[in-house]
Structure 1
Amino acid sequence: MFVDAKALPRGATVRSDVCIVGAGPAGIAVATALRHCGLKVTLLESGGLDEDHAARGQPASTSVFDGHQGIWTTRRFGGNANRWLVDAGTGANHLRLTTLSAVDFEARPWLPDSAWPLSIAELAPFYARAQQWFELPPWHYGPGYWEGADAPRLPLQGSGLRTSMFHFADKEVVLSGQRELIGASRDITCYYNATAARLQLDASSGRVRAVHALAQPGHALVFEADTIVLAQGGLATPQLLLASDDVLADGIGNQHGLVGRYFMDHPLVFGGTFTPSSRKLIDRMALYDLRRVDGTSAMGHLQLTDATLRGEPSVNLSTILFPRRSMSRRREIGFRASQRVREALRRKQLPRKRDLVAAALGVDGVLQQYNDRLRRPISHLGVGGWSRQGEPSHRLDHFEVLHQVEQPPRYDNRVRLGQERDDLGNRLIEIQWRWHDQDIALVHRSQDIVARELARSGLGTFHIRRPMEIKTTSTTHFLGTTRMHDDPRSGVVDREGRVHGVENLYVTGSSVFPSGGYANPTLTIVALSLRLAERIRNEASVAAPLIDLPSGTRRAPIG
């Protein structure tokens, strides 16, 4: 069921077996996996249920990534699921899904602190369950299931490069389907408009007794539970741990100063252009378009093989191909500049003067591109369909290359509490986040390998854009700030997601990733959350949840 926390009396205490903080995909997955097992579950959502209950504001007051950039989150039931906007050709917005690679879980000498305490084999059963959770068919992330006579994989020679697949899930699976399950459940109560402010740690037992939350300024609530799960993502989770400093001065889980450290994201990089050796090859690349196969939307892309990533200093990245027709260099520079101007304005920033000048000088290229898009929608990260528009080679002659890039874990990339406060009085966070020269060199090396393998296979030429051009520094994949490691000196949580030194406090979601590969993280987030739910089901005791009201008010059971 759903309850507006504002309707609870001030000072009320809600008791349950499990309290989950955060109603995005991670928290929702834990909650719904705990149905029908005798446990009473409380799920806290900072925002509301619908669009008119939008976020109170962004939690980041300062962000540094070679300059300033605003960081936005979505405070609303479903979390970032509300922002999934891929048009998969079904009339609904979708999310891009793929697994991490096996090598992403392993130690690589040129990426210190990148290894997970888990292997992909340990997570594989939960990836399969996550597919089911998203109402998708079985786990097929190789090309074999998806290719056909009209959509073969590229004939890559050697062992450096391979074809992998993205799946696309309807966001309404989360926003409507899972919401209906919770609404009909007598085991789960979701309190919305309930912003967690701090955790109450019992110093003598080493357990968290309660989550202290605010429904609005001055409207305090207490949520007690035997097991507490933080599922707020890579920004709000460290924010809450650091703000819980009444017993431990540095915050909970921060005895080695690691909460908020190793912050990562997935920057998008314009890689350059790929010109096929034969223009007719474009007609045989439908596998790399976003298309429907047996009722499921999928899209091919290129990635480095695990053997390459183990053997050559590099980072993982996807190579996504979008067909284009050529423009003069002046027009292309103008169009690229116009995109950067638009992105700056979207973020409420002043565009760079050189971009304004370049866009003006190449205005005919800008107009050509937008005219083409009006006549025939152009493919990009959010839209496919180019392979279904006649013979593509008649109008298209090359591919634009976009990379989603692994950012190496760096100790000095971090989230910490700032001095500014939100309207509830909670301290906002500051983000320190930048590329290192070595990070850029590793991206260059990975691009060189892609170019080498395409040329070796006789498929064409990858013209790499140098210096590296970043389309966006953030895909809002906030990773790594409560990293997973068996040694408390190297991580905030253990392999089960339990906070080191706190018996009943768990974290799930993107913040526990020690490294992030290039893969969109949501499938892994849900897999980890289902794994944690299984552990809680096996270990937690059952108790009847009660609401304790302020003195003199009758106590009433939930549900």
Structure 2
Amino acid sequence: MLHDLNGGPLAAPGRFDVCVIGAGPAGITLAMDLAKKNKRVALCEAGAFELTQLSQDNYKGAWVGDPYLELDAIRLRYFGGTSGHWTGYCRPLDEIDFLRKDRINPDAHWPIERRDLDPYLADACAVVQVKPPPASRVIAPELGLQEDFFSFSRPPVRFGDKYRKPIVASKTITLLLNANLVGVEAKDGRITSCIFQSYNQKNQSIVADKYVFAMGGIENSRQLLWHAARSPGNICSPEAPLGRYWMDHPHYTIGGALVSFKAPAARRFFGLTPQKQMQLGVLNCGLRLEPASQDHTQRMIKELVCVAPALGEWAASLAHRSMNCGIRIRAAWEAAPVFDNRVALSPSRKDRFGIPAPTLYWRHAPLDLKTLRATALQFNAWLTSRKLGRLRLEPWVLGRGGYPSQDELGGPHLMGGTRMADNPREGVVDRNCQVFGSKNLFMAGSSVFSSSGHSNPTLTILQLALRLSDHLTA
């Protein structure tokens, strides 16, 4: 059933089994799976079916620290959420991403294991119409190098388009549009109702047995920070590091190479084996090979002729046969979970509903650059040992200068802030995504990530949503 709160409140909403707040990939997947189990669901979305500036303006915020992206440009506040600019990359997290790595970073682990999510992989893939990607293939055991594989949703599934009709037609889902969360009423650690407001000041109270925040990797933290502060001890444990350990995958062009093989027509992905990561004391990193433009290839050849004439002659001979010998190398890698990287509430700026805007504190840790450099050097060792080519790294990768300010910068993959842990001193939710200190509030989405690996987060978000559905109906 569909209801637009701009037109007034529901006449007699009754009591719902679950209220899901946010209709992006996590919220839509969760609501639809709950509906299959005959649960009565209120799916509350702050936007409409189409993107509006009125809604989007509520995503404005600020960042402090290293160069990053505008917070209202990297998030979409409408039905379907940020799947509206998803690129379709699908890969589950690696097993090592869940494991303790105290010698490397004591916070880069989950309280669950990959095998806890594996049962949901096939169904998560079905949601975005892909098959599970092949397992990684070790290509140089002595160097600890492997080739990684992704599946691609092509064209990328836009959740708002694909799942609008079945949700509107559902007999057990009530979809409430233009419903902005403005109040959470709680007593003795239990939420009794959530209050939503439209853009023309119509209010709606939703009463449910259980509530799920599924508003995204910044908004989950912002809303929980605000409502927990207004009802201390009733919504979230005061011990919890709320908003902390926020992460994104750094995304940068790190160099290029002239290679003796034909540049791949499609992207190829390389990384370190789990054993090599542990040996070198680094986190997970993915290198992406793409064909370089002819101009870029020619520039690399000219540089090589100047600094290494013999190699320059070799490169020129390659180019004489074909200009497909140049590759560009991009990297997307795991940022170390850091306590001071966080979502906080602005002391001065509020949205139209009076809720403080987010301020994102984000700085790269020394381990981030160490991880990137180690992976790039092992890849270069593979190229040179096989006489396949040689990598030219950007100076900053080798520690000469800071990170570039003009690049992709981040996924943007907005992760952490309500991280999963086994106790409230280390996280905000438990292994079942239940908020510490609350009897009936849960979190869905990438905000619960304890660490990020290098895989794009969408598939893991869907696995977690399906797992949460099972827990809520157990």
Q: Assess same fold via TM > 0.5.
A: yes
Residue 6 of structure 2 corresponds to which residue in structure 1?
Answer: 6
Residue 524 of structure 1 corresponds to which residue in structure 2?
Answer: 460
Given that residues 254 and 331 in structure 2 are in contact (C-alpha distance below 8 angstroms), is that contact kept between their aligned partners in structure 1?
A: yes
Residue 312 of structure 2 corresponds to which residue in structure 1?
Answer: none
Residue 75 of structure 1 corresponds to which residue in structure 2?
Answer: 77
Given that residues 22 and 45 in structure 1 are in contact (C-alpha distance below 8 angstroms), is that contact kept between their aligned partners in structure 2?
A: yes
Given that residues 98 and 141 in structure 1 are in contact (C-alpha distance below 8 angstroms), is that contact kept between their aligned partners in structure 2?
A: no
Residue 454 of structure 1 corresponds to which residue in structure 2?
Answer: 383
Return the match for 2:277 from 292, 309, 321: 309
Return the offset for 1:329: 10
Given that residues 49 and 160 in structure 2 are in contact (C-alpha distance below 8 angstroms), is that contact kept between their aligned partners in structure 1?
A: no
Return the offset for 1:189: 1.1
Q: Does 1:102 align with 2:87?
A: no
Distance 1:110 1:129 in 2: 33
Given that residues 249 and 410 in structure 2 are in contact (C-alpha distance below 8 angstroms), is that contact kept between their aligned partners in structure 1?
A: yes
In structure 2, do the counterparts of structure 1 residues 2 and 456 end up closer, same or farther at CA, with 3 Å as the change threshold? Answer: farther
Return the match for 1:500 from 436, 439, 449: 436
| Equivalent AA in structure 2 for residue 511 of structure 1 | S
Return the offset for 1:216: 1.9
Alignment of 1:193-212 (within 5 A): 193-203=178-188, 206-212=189-195
Structure 2 unaligned runs (5+)? 301-318, 398-402
More displaced 10-residue stretch of structure 1: 424-433 or 5-14: 5-14
Alignment of 1:7-46 (within 5 A): 7-9=7-9, 15-46=15-46
Alignment of 1:136-147 (within 5 A): 136-137=130-131, 139-142=132-135
Residue 56 of structure 1 corresponds to which residue in structure 2?
Answer: 56
More displaced 10-residue stretch of structure 1: 502-511 or 439-448: 439-448
Indicate the SS of the match to 2:466. helix
In structure 2, do the counterparts of structure 1 residues 251 and 160 end up closer, same or farther at CA, with 3 Å as the change threshold? Answer: farther
In structure 2, do the counterparts of structure 1 residues 111 and 228 end up closer, same or farther at CA, with 3 Å as the change threshold? Answer: same
Q: What is the number of residues matched between the two proteins?
A: 444
Return the offset for 1:59: 2.6
Residue 123 of structure 1 corresponds to which residue in structure 2?
Answer: 117
Residue 207 of structure 2 corresponds to which residue in structure 1?
Answer: 224
Distance 2:268 2:391 in 1: 18
Residue 335 of structure 1 corresponds to which residue in structure 2?
Answer: none
Return the offset for 1:16: 1.0
Return the offset for 1:447: 2.0
More displaced 10-residue stretch of structure 1: 120-129 or 317-326: 317-326
| Equivalent AA in structure 1 for residue 330 of structure 2 | L
Residue 224 of structure 2 corresponds to which residue in structure 1?
Answer: 241
Distance 1:392 1:54 in 2: 56
Given that residues 320 and 402 in structure 1 are in contact (C-alpha distance below 8 angstroms), is that contact kept between their aligned partners in structure 2?
A: yes
Alignment of 1:16-415 (within 5 A): 16-52=16-52, 55-57=55-57, 59-67=59-67, 69-72=69-72, 73-84=75-86, 86=87, 95-108=88-101, 109-137=103-131, 139-142=132-135, 156=140, 158=142, 160-169=144-153, 170-172=155-157, 174-203=159-188, 206-216=189-199, 218-245=201-228, 248-249=231-232, 252-276=235-259, 278=260, 281-282=261-262, 285-286=264-265, 289=266, 300-325=268-293, 327=295, 394-415=322-343
Return the match for 2:394 from 465, 476, 479: 465
| Equivalent AA in structure 1 for residue 241 of structure 2 | L
Distance 2:166 2:142 in 1: 48
Return the offset for 1:330: 11
Distance 1:26 1:392 in 2: 51
Return the offset for 1:322: 1.1
Given that residues 156 and 457 in structure 1 are in contact (C-alpha distance below 8 angstroms), is that contact kept between their aligned partners in structure 2?
A: no
In structure 2, do the counterparts of structure 1 residues 11 and 186 end up closer, same or farther at CA, with 3 Å as the change threshold? Answer: closer
In structure 2, do the counterparts of structure 1 residues 238 and 125 end up closer, same or farther at CA, with 3 Å as the change threshold? Answer: same
Distance 1:417 1:52 in 2: 24
In structure 2, do the counterparts of structure 1 residues 166 and 36 end up closer, same or farther at CA, with 3 Å as the change threshold? Answer: closer
Given that residues 23 and 45 in structure 1 are in contact (C-alpha distance below 8 angstroms), is that contact kept between their aligned partners in structure 2?
A: yes
Return the offset for 1:300: 3.4
Distance 2:69 2:84 in 1: 21
In structure 2, do the counterparts of structure 1 residues 195 and 247 end up closer, same or farther at CA, with 3 Å as the change threshold? Answer: closer
Residue 427 of structure 1 corresponds to which residue in structure 2?
Answer: 356
In structure 2, do the counterparts of structure 1 residues 12 and 213 end up closer, same or farther at CA, with 3 Å as the change threshold? Answer: farther
In structure 2, do the counterparts of structure 1 residues 407 and 329 end up closer, same or farther at CA, with 3 Å as the change threshold? Answer: same
Indicate the SS of the match to 1:63. strand
Tell me the alpha carbon deviations over residues 320-372 of structure 1, each in whole angstroms, 9 at most, x when there is no partner: 1111245479978xxxxxxxxxxxxxxxxxxxxxxxxxxxxxxxxxxxxxxxx
TM-score (norm 1): 0.74
Return the offset for 1:10: 9.1
In structure 2, do the counterparts of structure 1 residues 325 and 38 end up closer, same or farther at CA, with 3 Å as the change threshold? Answer: closer
Root-mean-square deviation (CA, aligned residues, Å) is 2.6
Distance 1:395 1:326 in 2: 6
Tell me the alpha carbon deviations over residues 441-462 of structure 1, each in whole angstroms, 9 at most, x when there is no partner: 3322222222223333433212
In structure 2, do the counterparts of structure 1 residues 197 and 124 end up closer, same or farther at CA, with 3 Å as the change threshold? Answer: same
Return the offset for 1:34: 1.1
Indicate the SS of the match to 1:409. coil
Given that residues 229 and 505 in structure 1 are in contact (C-alpha distance below 8 angstroms), is that contact kept between their aligned partners in structure 2?
A: yes
Given that residues 98 and 167 in structure 1 are in contact (C-alpha distance below 8 angstroms), is that contact kept between their aligned partners in structure 2?
A: yes
Return the offset for 1:394: 2.4
TM-score (norm 2): 0.87
Identity, in percent, stands at 29
Distance 1:7 1:434 in 2: 44
